[in-house]
Structure 1
Amino acid sequence: MTVLELKNLTKTFGTTVAAKDISFELNANEIFGFIGPNGAGKSTTLRMIIGALSPDGGEILMDGEPLSGNPHYKKNIAYVPGDVNLWGNLTGEEVIHFFMKVRGYTNIEKKKHLIAQFRLDSKKKCKTYSKGNRQKVALICAFLSEAHLLIFDEPTTGLDPLMERVFHEQLMHAKSEGRSILLSSHVLSEVEKLADRIAIIREGEIIETGPLKTLRHITRTEYIVKSTQDLSELQALPYVHHYMETDDGTHMRIDNDSIEDYLAKLSHYRPYHLETLPPRLEDIFMRYYEDRRKLS
């Protein structure tokens, strides 16, 4: 079941095209990673989804219905931006209570549990909070919500590694409850760990969409080789990249469509150790961006 669908969504600011023909679908009970560098159009797209910006073209559908014909769609969305502003003279708990009151949430035990999990000193006024603590307040409010679509825009900015882990645990718990998550981030390891599918955005355009396992064709596989013979000649081959000799062996990345040729060539060097490292999302992302720059 499709929870959210974007069809050719476009937004311009003067002569700047912030989003151009953005199209993707978010399915029920799915974590969808939306990745790209700062300025690529991620936040603009998310703000159009939540109604903070009006698109210049295209259409947004939730549960198959256009948002333009459903004035109450926002009750099914919880959104956390990358930089949260709160009411300075209210305590963290007062802000959380306010959002619970406005949206009709009554699960006090869950509120206490989340405050404890995120280690938030909820009795302090928000004006004393660091960026990370303000982020915690917003995340707690989102996970307390009963919205079936959770949208996070760079949500772990300002969080320490322990709190990042708590966020990841809560995200997976929300998914287990049947909710759908749209996660925008430039932290590629985070998206790789959590997302079922990803979309890569570059200069306002989607350039690739799909499950991570099907995107590995646009990257290279890393090999660690040990041999008694000199392997340095291999770095002259056109499909060998990032050749590097280290204490644990010789590292090199091979174009996936040339692996058969590489292994045939490597056999002449009689390796006694051969280790393969799977492509990472970071490799996919950077390879795709490098290739697109060469074409542009």
Structure 2
Amino acid sequence: MKDALELRDLTKVYGSLTALDGVSLSVPPGSVVGVIGPNGAGKSTTMRLILGLIRPSGGTAIVLGTESWRSGPSLRRRVGYLPGDLKLDGGATGHDTLRYFGLISGPVDERFRNELVERLEFDPSRRVRTLSKGNRQKLGLVQALMHRPELLVLDEPTSGLDPLMQREFIALMREAKAAGQAVFLSSHVISEVQHCADHVAVIRQGDLVRSARVAELRDEAPRSVRLELDAPLTAGQAEALRQAGLAFRPTDDPPNTLRPGGAATVVEGQVSGSPVALLGVLSRLGLVDVVIEEPDLEQAVLGLYAQAAPGMEVGRHGR
């Protein structure tokens, strides 16, 4: 099965600034790829290159089997696009706007369009200038989805949406995937990518620093561990925990790593990868309670951001 989208060493240079540097990535049909990166990382530039809105300095973007820069309107009708800076005619109503985009996109199933409007709780009778940021975003989502495109390219698609609508968006992405559509999206909400994407690409300063399945990247993230013991931790027990992969909190003072917590001794730390070896050691301790948290995609991504050049704002997400 051919990929719906394939980026081959995609590069974009503006004078002395390299906005995108040799990015290679693919999106098969029936999959969701989420792109994450700090502000100015190159995510929106990548999307504009995919749509053929700007010309690459090097490499190619193959969209549904065609090089995007050389494509025409017929290819664009097979793609649904939501830009991060959606600009609409303020004097038009939602109905007018959807009719206009319907003419551009090609045949639109009115029943499906109306279903999207209802699910996103959007009032199409209102003029665009009166809409809040969230309602303009809903209008943008309807126009991108309503013609059931083979490929969806969505830049910060839930920006301005409330938590209930964010949940509805995730449901729509799962349905699109089940229908065989390919989705390429960027998001500043890492948990959103974790819930709807199969694959995640981390871009930093124009470079693709990591590309992996969501489950793989999440499993690399450290798990927080909290132990309550019925007696102080001995030096031998502390060493056994270290050998099993437990890294104690930097504020602790090994080998004691003790914190009194009522009748129990509290030990806190992190373990990366599988906790199976740690569980073997814990079974030999006098445990009162144990908490091992699920690994989080956000922790893995922030770890990649932390490797950034000096001066980068770690933990900031955007276009």
TM-score normalised by length of structure 2: 0.82
| Letter of the structure 2 residue corresponding to residue 107 of structure 1 | D
Which of residues 224, 240, 258 in structure 1 aligns to 2:248? 240
Counterpart in the other structure of 2:210:
208
Q: Which amino acid aligns with 1:17?
A: T
Letter in 2 for 1:240: F
Contiguous gaps of at least 5 residues in structure 2: 253-258, 313-319
What CA deviation, in whole Å up to 9, does each residue of 1:59-92 have, x standing for no partner?
A: 1112344334543322211111223221011001
The aligned runs of 1:110-129 (5 Å cut-off) are: 110-129=112-131
Matched, 1:174 2:191: no
Which range moves more in the overlay, 248-257 or 175-184? 248-257
Q: Tell whether the 8 Å contact from 1:42 to 1:184 is kept in structure 2 after alignment.
A: yes
Q: How does 1:252-271 map to 2 (within 5 A)?
A: 252-256=269-273, 260=277, 269-271=285-287
Instruction: Select 2:228's aligned residue among 217, 226, 229.
Output: 226
Identity in percent:
31
- 1:154 is aligned, of 150, 153, 156, to 156
Partner residue in 1 for 2:296: 280
Q: Which moved more, 1:249-258 or 1:131-140?
A: 249-258
Query: What corresponds to 2:196 in structure 1?
Result: 194
- Give the alignment's Cα RMSD to 1 decimal: 3.0
Report the Cα offset of residue 115 of structure 1.
Answer: 1.3
CA separation in 1, counterparts of 2:117 and 2:285? Answer: 59
Instruction: Give the partner amino acid of 2:89.
Output: W
Q: Secondary structure at the match of 2:76?
A: helix
Pair 1:41 & 2:58 matched: no
Seen in structure 2, the aligned counterparts of structure 1 residues 176 and 13 have a Cα distance that, compared at 3 Å, is same
**Alignment check: 8 A CA contact 2:20 2:45 kept:** yes
Q: 1:165 offset after TM fit, Å?
A: 1.4
Which of 282, 286, 289 lines up with 2:305 in the alignment? 289
Give the alignment of 1:84-123 within 5 angstroms: 84-123=86-125
Shift of 1:139: 0.3
Call closer, same or farther: CA 1:292–1:271 in 2, change over 3 Å.
farther
| Local SS of the residue matching 2:269 | strand
Moved more, 9-18 or 199-208: 9-18
**Cα offset for 1:101?**
2.5
CA distance change for structure 1 residues 66 and 117 in 2, over 3 Å: closer, same or farther? same
- Alignment pair present for 1:165 and 2:167: yes
With 38-47 and 215-224 compared, the bigger mean Cα shift is at 215-224
Query: Equivalent residue for 1:133?
Result: 135
Matched, 1:6 2:11: no
Moved more, 161-170 or 218-227: 218-227
**Deviates further, 239-248 or 201-210:** 239-248
Where in structure 1 do 4 or more consecutive aligned residues deviate above 6 Å?
235-238, 242-249
Task: Specify whether residues 112 and 229 from structure 1 end up closer, same or farther in structure 2 by C-alpha distance, changes over 3 A only.
Answer: same
CA distance 1:243–1:16, change in 2 (3 Å)? same
Matches within 5 A, 1:20-59: 20-59=21-60
Displacement of 1:283: 0.7
Contact 2:10 2:59 in 1 (8 A): yes
- Distance in 1 between residues matched to 2:85 and 2:118, nearest whole Å: 22
Q: CA deviation at 1:169?
A: 1.5
Aligned residues: 294
| 2-structure distance, mates of 1:293, 1:231 | 39
- Seen in structure 2, the aligned counterparts of structure 1 residues 77 and 225 have a Cα distance that, compared at 3 Å, is same
Deviation at 1:112, TM superposition (A): 1.8
- Give the CA deviation at 1:218: 3.9
Contact 2:51 2:69 survives alignment (8 Å): no
User: If you compute each CA radius of gyration, which structure gives the higher value, 1 or 2?
Assistant: 2
| Greater mean deviation of Cα atoms: 142-151 or 211-220 | 211-220
Normalization by structure 1: what TM-score? 0.88
Cα distance change, pair 148–231 in 1 and its aligned pair in 2 (3 A): farther
